[in-house]
Chain A
Amino acid sequence: MAESLVAGHRSTGNGEADVVPRYTIPGRAPSDVRDDDVGIALPTGAQALLEAEYENMLACVRCGLCLTSCPTYVLTGNENEGPRGRIALARALTEGRIPLTDELLTHEDNCLACDACTDVCPAGVRMEPIQVAFRAAVEPAVRRPVWVRALRTVVFDWLFPSMPRFRFLVWLVWIYQVSGLRTVLRATGALRLIGMSDADALLPPFVPHFLISSGQTYPPEGDRSDRVETVDLFAGCVMSTALAAIDHATVRVLQRSGCAVSCPSGQGCCGALHAHSGDRAGAVSLARSTIASFEVGGDRPVIVNSAGCGAMLKEYGHFLADDLDWASRAKRFSARVMDASEFLATRTLPVMHPIGAGSVRVTYQDACHLSHAQKITSQPRDLLRSIPGLELTEMAERSLCCGSAGVYNVTHPETARELGSRKAESIIATGAEVVVTANPGCYLQLRARLRATGSKTEVRHIMELLDAASSPVVAR
């Protein structure tokens, strides 16, 4: 006979008798069918991927502390759309207790991987690796329309792994913007017709000179000869092309802080988008080539100005932990990675000038992948405060995701729009003239959402502001 904690109750052995509810609905014959929710079988290899994160899932004690930090839970009130639920679903799936259903896939897929839950969890559960493992595990079983599959192949296998191709695409986008085609499509409502109006709103504003990493080194500037340090720049795919102005600004700020900035050749995309979209093979291959291209730099810091990429680069150690040939190289690389503001906080900064005529009111938006994933919140604020005449104000719900989350604003436009508008409202309520962020995704999302409300608030990357404030040529 089984022992039961519920003293005074002895399990009947098969345990069923006492548990069967005794109600039926009159007029409808209860059938003998037992719970028969059908689901998709787990693809081969899925079990092993999930089990690698099983310990992580088990650490959840279900206290519920993470619920109110989770954007999708806050919007829906559905526990399936909260961190505790997502962990429970992944765990039950790993244990083989529930099948893989469409509902389950959707709930996991709706996760922004913003790590707001990870940030508050007292038990040390980490959501991002669970999502990466889950998505890779189920990807072969996910039914996608043929054109989506094709598009994924083009984007993940063809576009991102090659910087020349990526640069070519950004040029095409630029041509789309300047040729008048966009104006025509917008004016005729054609974009809305093909469901691309949200995606269009997210396009970057201009195409300046790309930063092409070919092994060049930018020398330190100013009188910092006492503390010259060489750093490697991770230029990023979007940052070095569509938002290259930010990369150039970053280089200048580093130079003025006494750094020689080296741009190792062979680098490209970090693979975060692949990892979050279930393309593990693609992510692994990009991770390996990134690690290899930076090994020329020995142990010097790898500086990154995109929070999303930074989080991924710091995660390589964990991501490749089971990869015999790469585990130690990945760990060594990850240990070198620093966000630009994290690094600058350790340096003597160049002299800063005011960026406006009078005082400028600025609010700082915490990128999830900086604040939650990398726990960097004070350094960017301290850097901003070092700019004379800059008045820093905080927005409401500052730790809530803006809805950008990698390509989430393209794949889940509705949720992303709702979160983005909520964020825009918080920003506008501060009365700030400029909102500062440290991530390309947030940058584009904030621009799109603020513009949609007709707000004049400018969006700037923190490096752009520091560049403007430390520029020696601007007469003030």
Chain B
Amino acid sequence: MTMLRTDVVTRVSRATRVAIATDLRRLVTTGDVLDAGTDLEVYGYDASFLTQLKPVVPDVAVIARSEADVIAVMRYANEHRIPVTPRGAASGCGGGCVALRGGIVLALNAMNRVIEIDGPNGQVICEPGVVHARLNELVAPDGLIFPPDPGSSRMATVGGMASTNAHGVRAVKYGPTSSWVLGLTVVLPNGDVIETGSVGSRAKQSAAGLELTKLFVGAEGTLGVITRLRLKLLPRPKARAMVFAVFDVLERAGEAVQAVYRSGISPSAIEILDSRSLRAANLYRPDLGLREAEALLLFEVDGNPAGVRWDAEQIAETVRPLAVEVDWSDQEPRIAKLWEARSVVGAAVGALRPGSTRAYAGEDICVPLSRIPETLRGIQELSVKYDVPVATYGHIGGGSLHPAVLVNGRDPDDVRRVIALTDAIHHLALDLGGTVTGEHGVGAARAPYMTREHGAALETMRQIKRALDPHGIMNPATIFPEDVPPTPALDASLVTGGM
């Protein structure tokens, strides 16, 4: 059996771990403190490739069940300079919720109460562990919706979404999570509590003071722990329709997106599946029967029933000269089926090469709309060069692309090639004027690119971080490259042996 050397991650001594756990058990009144060796194993990974091959376990894990628990943990950790890593559902793809520098993992998934649905004011107050899909189920009876909708709707917590500024398929029309957060309660690294967005306010807009809410949104837990959120809701659109268009030339798919925007329509989602993605989806679920071509585009429009039909017809007309097949539908079952095809792709990629799994690495670039065809071609070339199957899909309407790479985790050579390919994809995105992460966040996996991406601005971020977290205990292995330890999991030279 191939496995990684196990002697690489050295934890703090057992005596210290036991001491920390004993103290925390006294201080944490409603939550649970875990320190048995095998219990920590499962807090050592998220969806990232970075932690897939070998988890990096924390010294202690705390399952918080109240704000008081969080305050107690932060005060204690700040006093003893122990790193604290907040954790939601761990569906993140960058290793951001893993204690790469040891210390305490602070799990917030069990703080999952919806405190108040304020229908008349179009907002909801909830704890950070509420899962996105559940929140939407709960506000639906009031005819409301929390619009950001990541593909991870059924796992991601709203705390994790706010912390990574999650986007999702409809961000092209409704914007990212940051547009929907009105205020936050944050426990700062020293244990103090602040409320952003005006204390006790139910206002839907504000121009008072520095925008602290936006500072904590997307901070990936490096500045404090979110313990409560005030989120903005929208009346649920009455209807939707979907246009799908098949292209045999990749560039034409790019042109089609531009043409639709020029026609003055703002679709609620525009998604792309490349030829490999279509192949994978068909292999995984033959009943989907997707036509395999260079690309498939899905345009969704939402609003009132008459409006969506008009929009859909317009879009179909606009893209018809560029596509080899175009159709549209306002029938829910049909739309649901097309969305399903889109949603299975991520996992279906595994079907392209039996024995391999999908790896979340280099999976989240975003490029200017005008450079999308070039990017897709570039990824295909890199896939050939490194001999790693890659299927690409994504929210093309915003330029956000998800190259899905395949890896056989037991083959060191394969692991090495995936690592090199990932690096190349990230540089490709930066070369084309894009970013290494369109929506998943930096975590540890993408921290090395921050210097190139931000230049001098990174130092300003550091100053903010130091001001709020002088001891550097708050999620230290995230965003800032110098704080990320070499991660044994991705060190291909450490994959040894054979089964």
A-B contact pairs, 30 of them (CB 8 A): A2-B491, A2-B492, A4-B487, A5-B50, A5-B361, A8-B451, A15-B9, A19-B485, A19-B488, A21-B83, A25-B80, A35-B37, A37-B36, A54-B1, A58-B410, A59-B357, A62-B45, A62-B51, A63-B347, A68-B134, A77-B107, A77-B110, A79-B90, A80-B39, A85-B42, A88-B41, A94-B1, A98-B38, A123-B347, A123-B358
Would you give the shortest CB distance from B250 to chain A, in whole angstroms? 26
Q: Is the CB of B12 within 8 A of A98?
A: no
Would you give the shortest CB distance from A130 to chain B, in whole angstroms? 15
In angstroms, Cα B156 to Cα A416, docked, is 27
Interface magnitude class on chain B: 35 or more
Interface presence of A95 (CB below 8 A): yes
Residues of B near A8 (CB, < 8 A) are: 448, 451, 481
Residues of B near A346 (CB, < 8 A) are: none
Q: Is the CB of B357 within 8 A of A5?
A: no
Interface presence of B447 (CB below 8 A): yes
Q: Is the CB of A3 within 8 A of B419?
A: yes
In angstroms, Cα B110 to Cα A408, docked, is 24
Q: Could you list which residues of chain B lie within 8 angstroms of chain A, going by C-beta atoms? A: 1, 3, 6, 8-16, 19-20, 23, 32, 34, 36-39, 41-43, 45-47, 50-52, 54-55, 59, 63, 65, 80-83, 89-91, 101-103, 107, 109-110, 112, 129, 131, 133-134, 152, 154-155, 344, 346-348, 350, 355, 357-361, 409-410, 416, 419, 422-423, 444-445, 447-449, 451, 481, 484-488, 490-494, 499
In angstroms, Cα B52 to Cα A92, docked, is 12
- Given A8-B481, A89-B38, the answer on whether A31 and B13 have CB atoms closer than 8 Å is yes
In angstroms, Cα B59 to Cα A24, docked, is 12
Interface presence of A143 (CB below 8 A): no
Name the residue of chain A whose CB is nearest to the CB of B32.
A78
Contact with B along A81-113 (1 / 0, CB 8 A): 010110011001011111101011001000000
* Residue from B59, B109, B361 whose CB has the most chain A CB atoms within 10 Å: B109
Q: Is the CB of A21 within 8 A of B11?
A: yes
Q: Is the CB of B13 within 8 A of A30?
A: yes
Residues of A near B36 (CB, < 8 A) are: 37, 101, 103
Residues of A near B38 (CB, < 8 A) are: 37, 39, 89, 92, 98-99, 101, 103-104
Residues of A near B34 (CB, < 8 A) are: 78, 80
Return the 5 tightest CB-CB contacts between A and B, nearest first: A37-B37, A77-B110, A122-B347, A21-B102, A85-B42
Interface presence of A147 (CB below 8 A): no
Q: Is the CB of A25 within 8 A of B20?
A: yes
Contact of B494 among A2, A32, A95 (CB under 8 A): A2
Residues of A near B487 (CB, < 8 A) are: 4-6
* Residue from B12, B51, B490 whose CB has the most chain A CB atoms within 10 Å: B12
- Given A8-B448, A25-B20, A32-B13, the answer on whether A64 and B90 have CB atoms closer than 8 Å is yes
In angstroms, Cα B152 to Cα A68, docked, is 12
In angstroms, Cα B82 to Cα A30, docked, is 15
Q: Is the CB of B47 within 8 A of A64?
A: yes
Residues of B near A54 (CB, < 8 A) are: 1, 499
In angstroms, Cα B409 to Cα A95, docked, is 13
